[in-house]
């Protein structure tokens, strides 16, 4: 029997704590039940104590103990995992395989996938770091060799922001659209944790249109406009903004 709408696995890590805090103070908190999960019960208890606005259930589970994972999954409508290390499993290679697998299932290969960052964006990020003396000027230095569970300092999470231009072209090439997406907060952690929280709520609250086919789906393909509307409304509309730049 499902006990919770959402189970957050890896909740005591740096990213997991950000997601937990976002869910704990979410204005729709009365509409969903959730739990925090991980290997260390003491760390889970400390995290729950720090969540003044919520008291999620604690579930002890470890990926090396399959029965514990099965038990955890059986209690959830949606499982959100932030367990790392990301260096071993993340990056272009994994993303590319996921995208190709989804497209293969829908018969849309061949395709290509790549990620990049503009020189201008890199320079702006560098200036943000240097203008604050790598955080030493504000008494909260950037960890140049972060330990597990450690991420950017609070000032960097707040000062960060992102802006992305996306272009899509129809299969026939007759139609194209370019949209602008921008948001507040460090995109690597703070913004991502909020987006992940809203993805979980889309799934848990049943507000998404069912995808036409299965497979490994990107959030946009699986959740469509419902996710965009949730993100645009998050934090009173101050978190993310979407706009159409051009359409033919």
Instruction: Order across the sheet with 34-38: list the strands.
Output: 57-60, 34-38, 4-9, 76-81
Kindly report the average pLDDT of the chain as a whole number. 79
Model confidence pLDDT, tens digit, residues 200-241:
999 888 755 655 566 677 888 888 888 899 999 999 999 999
Model confidence pLDDT, tens digit, residues 57-93:
999 998 888 888 888 888 888 888 888 655 443 343 3
Q: How far is CA 7 from the centre of its chain?
A: 15
Angle between helices 219-233 and 190-204 (to 10 degrees): 110
Angle at 12 between CA 228 and CA 22, to 5 degrees: 30
* Threshold 0.85, pTM exceeds: no
Q: How far is CA 67 from the centre of its chain?
A: 27
The domains of the chain are located at: 4-85, 141-147+151-247
Mean pLDDT within 19-33 = 94
pLDDT at 191 (0 to 100) = 93
The pLDDT-based confidence of 94 (bands split at 50, 70, 90) is very low
Rounded to whole angstroms, how far apart are CA atoms 68 and 247? 50
- Answer whether 92's CB lies under 8 Å from 113's CB: yes
- Distant-in-sequence, close-in-space partners of 176: CB < 8 Å, separation ≥ 6: 167, 168, 169, 170, 246, 247, 248
The pLDDT-based confidence of 20 (bands split at 50, 70, 90) is very high
The pLDDT-based confidence of 117 (bands split at 50, 70, 90) is low
Distances (CA, A) of 74 to 48, 63, 67, 70, 232: 21, 15, 10, 6, 32
The pLDDT-based confidence of 125 (bands split at 50, 70, 90) is low
Superfamily classification of domain 4-85: NAD(P)-binding Rossmann-like Domain (3.40.50.720)
Angle at 28 between CA 25 and CA 29, to 5 degrees: 55
Q: Does residue 27 surpass a pLDDT of 70?
A: yes
Q: Comparing 30-39, 79-88, 169-178, 190-199, which segment has the lowest mean pLDDT? A: 79-88
Percent of the chain at pLDDT > 70 equals: 70
Rounded to whole angstroms, how far apart are CA atoms 142 and 125? 13
């Amino acid at each position: 029997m499902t006990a919770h709408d959402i189970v957050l696995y890896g909740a005591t890590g740096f990213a997991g704590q950000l997601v937990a805090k976002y869910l704990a103070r979410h204005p729709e908190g009365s509409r969903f039940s959730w739990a925090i999960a991980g290997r260390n019960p003491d760390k889970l208890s400390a995290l729950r104590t720090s969540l003044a606005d919520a008291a999620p259930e604690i579930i002890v589970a470890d990926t090396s103990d399959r029965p514990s994972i099965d038990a955890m999954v059986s209690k959830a409508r949606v499982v959100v995992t932030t367990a790392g290390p990301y260096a071993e499993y993340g990056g272009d290679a994994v993303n590319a395989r996921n995208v190709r697998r989804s497209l293969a299932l829908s018969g849309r290969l061949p395709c290509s996938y790549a990620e990049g960052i503009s020189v201008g964006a890199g320079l702006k990020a560098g200036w943000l770091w240097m203008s604050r003396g790598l955080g030493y000027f504000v008494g909260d230095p950037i960890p140049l060799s972060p330990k597990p569970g450690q991420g950017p300092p609070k000032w960097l999470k707040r000062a960060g922001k992102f802006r992305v231009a996306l272009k899509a072209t129809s299969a026939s090439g007759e139609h194209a659209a370019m949209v602008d997406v921008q948001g507040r907060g460090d995109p690597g952690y703070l913004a991502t944790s909020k987006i992940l929280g809203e993805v979980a709520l889309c799934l848990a609250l049943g507000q998404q249109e069912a995808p036409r086919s299965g497979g490994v789906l990107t959030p946009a393909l699986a959740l469509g406009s419902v996710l965009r509307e949730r993100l645009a409304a998050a934090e009173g509309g101050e978190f993310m903004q979407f706009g159409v730049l051009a359409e033919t």
